[in-house]
Each structure stands twice: as structure tokens, then as C-alpha cells.
Structure 1
């Protein structure tokens, strides 16, 4: 059982404020159930393949589905991300998440849809992200794979923290985006597209730090259910 994942006391203490109140019969132990949910998502297992140490797999799935629909997991991530304390630099980028055939064939009634699109690499979802200077995610936005980076940038713009710099690659070189950052008092460290008649000056030394958001994506994709989407987006990310 040494290879199983268990939330620590410190981690549970940070998550506890986001837990809903228990009405009537007490819930099954939160540490055991949440640890099991994380283990399943990290390894991309079927719920029925959950190790016995985490209890009945139906309990894990029921908690995952119920808390997802109520937005509890989303509030956890938003609350933890709000504690970043970043005041200097944030980074923006996007990555593709491969959609498994079991996800592409599933229709979702109502809501935002499956958010799966066809690209040169097949059926994909695109994950747009903002991270801090240490490579910790601050904000995430999900679209279908064929959606432009500009759409993700526009969606994430309003949630940018009050920082001095934003680092991004050439995919974010747009006059409207630079002007929007300037209005927020944020300096853009974004190289210009090659088609620009007038070259864009940027801080090359500072730009090298952008690899931290690439490292963040790599760590996220260590989680099997993030690297490859197996289910509809409503219960996936």
C-alpha cells in the first residue's frame, strides 16, 4: 500500500474550508474518499479498479460526481489558486489534451458541450492557462482544440492578478492584447510575429523564464486523465 496516494494532515487542513456541511448522516471519511479520487484521476483508472484501501468504488464515483456538479472541486481549485501571492510575473500559454474515443463519442446534454474539436493531431481539447513565476497554475480555461489562442487569452484577461509582467509566446502577439495589458498596468514580454513590418522589442532574458509554464503543463500531464480525456468535460477538468 506504500504506492497509494494519501492526503496529508496539512493538505486536508487547506481543503477543509471548502467542504460542504454534512446534513444528517455523517459523510464517509473525507481523507479516504478524496485520496481515492485523486489516485483514480492521476492514474487514469476506471472507478471499479480503485484499490480496496479507498473503500467501495461506487462511493468514490458518487462523491466525485456530486461534488463536481455542485462546483465544490472548482471552488477548491479557485480558492487554492487565489493564495498564490504573485506580484511580479505571470505567464500565459495553451496545450492540447488528446481526446480518447470514449470521450469523443459521448454526447453531453445541455451545458458547455464536450469541448472537443478536430485538429491536425486528431480530436483534441485545448487547455489555456495562466501560471505564476514559480509555475503554479492561477487560472485555467478549456476550449475545443481548434479554437485560437486569442479566445483563451480574452477569457483569461479579466482574471489576471495585479502584476508587473506577462510572458507569452508569439501566439499572443496581437495589438488588442498588448493594449489590454497596458490598460491593466501590465508590461507584455511577448516576441513579435515574423510578419510584422516593425520588429517588437522584448526582454529576452526575462522571456527565458517562460519555460516554467511548459514545465507546469508537463506536470499536469503526468495525470493520466488530464493528458488524455476519457470522459466529458463536465466531469473531467
Structure 2
């Protein structure tokens, strides 16, 4: 076992959620070696062609990662691992925080064709496919942004990839609607945290109305301009937003989750041209964080 490879305990918890061996003519007979190759690339950020020979053909490793990113296999594995953790009581639902982080795009991530890439016949376009490829241009060059919701144990519950210039506030609802932790014993998946935390960027009447409708308690500070505008309007401005200083101190948990995700160099710097492949890259990093505990 090499440095950064799956341990026996991690593999035992991951193996039962993988596609069955022998499918597609026995093409997927060496899951562990291939996944270790994917993790090596994520940890080091090397080009796919430079993978060490101990992981087998680099093209096999890349194609499996691309296919599982396209058909949603990585997303299903992440939810299965989360469901297992929830059944064991290892998810802290008492406080879920939302935040985002910008990732610089390498020059090799630019120049993707506008035409949709080739995918399995079952789907015309890959899951998580974006026509804009999740890239935006700013003074610093091409960037993308990862929006995520993290539970109290500093592990991602849901994530979303957008262009780097997109704001945080409009992405609060899409991120929360991606939280779906299945229940192994049956019933509807859990989609609602006990409490939600966020910084001033998420303060808007639309977001607060959405949270009240779903009966989600939240701690989001109100910016000075919004507070002044509310007071200026008098009784029409509505009541002041509640704010719990002690709960807000826990917002650092999502920032520490982002820090853990960016330990993977292929996440901190985007090398993938396609948005759906980069989404799969971030999802694999999230799966690894869940397996480590």
C-alpha cells in the first residue's frame, strides 16, 4: 500500500457501494487499484499520463473517473457513504454551514469545445454538465467556485460548481436542495438540518423566506446597509433578523472543511476542462473525507 492509498478499513467501507465487478464484460475488475490511481492524481495534481505504472494504464484510470463523473456514480457513492455515517450517528445535524471558495483554473482547463462531449448512450448529456463549463474570467484569470454545505464534523454534505464570478447568495437554495442523505431503514431521505449558519453574503429576503418556509433555524448576520434600509422603512421593513453569536462561532467548521478539501491539489487548482469531470474530482475528495473518519 502506497502513501495516500486506501487503507483496508476504508476499502472495506467503500467496496460494497461500488458497481458490481463483471459488468461491461469484466472491464471493472480492479476497482481498488484504479481508485488509488484517481486518489493519487487528486492528491498530487499530476497529469493523467504521468500516473505511476503501479496503477496500471493511465487511460483506464482516467476513463473510469470520467465515466463515473458523467453518469453520477460518484454522487451515488457519496450519498451511500453519508447514509452509512448517518445510520451510525456520525453526522452532526445540529449545525450545517454554507460557504464557497474560489479555485484558480489552470491554462489546460480552458478551451473546451462548446459541443457536448461523448457519453454513454443512456444519457444525451452528462450529469452536472454546464454549457459554461463552470469557468469565469476576472482580473486574476479563469476561476471557478465551489459552493458547499458542511456538517459539524467538517465533511461536505452537498456541493455545487459554478463560474468564479457568480455570487454566493443565489446559490444557497440550490446547495441546500442537494442535501439528500438516504435512510437505510427506509423512508424519505433527510434533507433538512437542525440549524444553518452562513456569513453576510447569504443575507437576503429570498433566502430567509425560503428557510422560514422549510422551518430551518438559521444564523446569518444582517449587513449594515440592509439593516439601515429596514429601519428607514419603519414598520414596512419587517422585524430584525435573529442572531445567535454562540452559534455563529461554529461557522468556522465549513471553512475548515474547505481547507481539508483543498489539501487535494487537483481541487485547489482546477485542471479539468469539463465542469462535470471537475465536479467528480471534488466529489471523490469529499468521499475520501467521509471514509477517513
**Superposed pair shares fold, TM > 0.5:** yes
Q: CA deviation at 1:108?
A: 4.5
Kept in 2: contact 1:7–1:35 (CA 8 A): yes
Q: Does 1:143 align with 2:162?
A: yes
Say which of 214, 234, 237 aligns to 1:184: 214
Kept in 2: contact 1:165–1:188 (CA 8 A): yes
Q: Does 1:14 align with 2:13?
A: yes
Kept in 1: contact 2:197–2:218 (CA 8 A): yes
CA distance in 2, matches of 1:77, 1:120: 35
Partner deviation per Cα, 1:121-151 (whole Å, 9 max, x = no partner): 3311111100101211000011111112122
Kept in 2: contact 1:92–1:168 (CA 8 A): yes
CA distance in 2, matches of 1:188, 1:47: 43
Structure 2, unmatched stretches of 5+, are: 117-128, 180-190, 232-239, 280-293
Aligned partner of 1:102 in structure 2 is 108
Q: How many aligned residue pairs are there?
A: 236
Q: CA deviation at 1:67?
A: 2.3
Aligned partner of 2:77 in structure 1 is 76
User: Looking at both structures, which has the greater relative contact order when contacts are Cα pairs under 8 Å and sequence separation is at least 6?
Assistant: 2
CA distance in 1, matches of 2:214, 2:175: 13
Kept in 2: contact 1:166–1:189 (CA 8 A): yes
Structure 1, unmatched stretches of 5+, are: none
Kept in 2: contact 1:91–1:168 (CA 8 A): yes
Kept in 1: contact 2:104–2:143 (CA 8 A): yes
Kept in 2: contact 1:164–1:185 (CA 8 A): no
Q: TM-score scaled by structure 1?
A: 0.90
Kept in 2: contact 1:6–1:31 (CA 8 A): no
SS at match of 1:18: coil
Kept in 2: contact 1:89–1:163 (CA 8 A): yes
Kept in 2: contact 1:5–1:36 (CA 8 A): no
Q: RMSD of the TM alignment (CA)?
A: 2.0
Kept in 2: contact 1:18–1:72 (CA 8 A): no
Q: TM-score scaled by structure 2?
A: 0.74
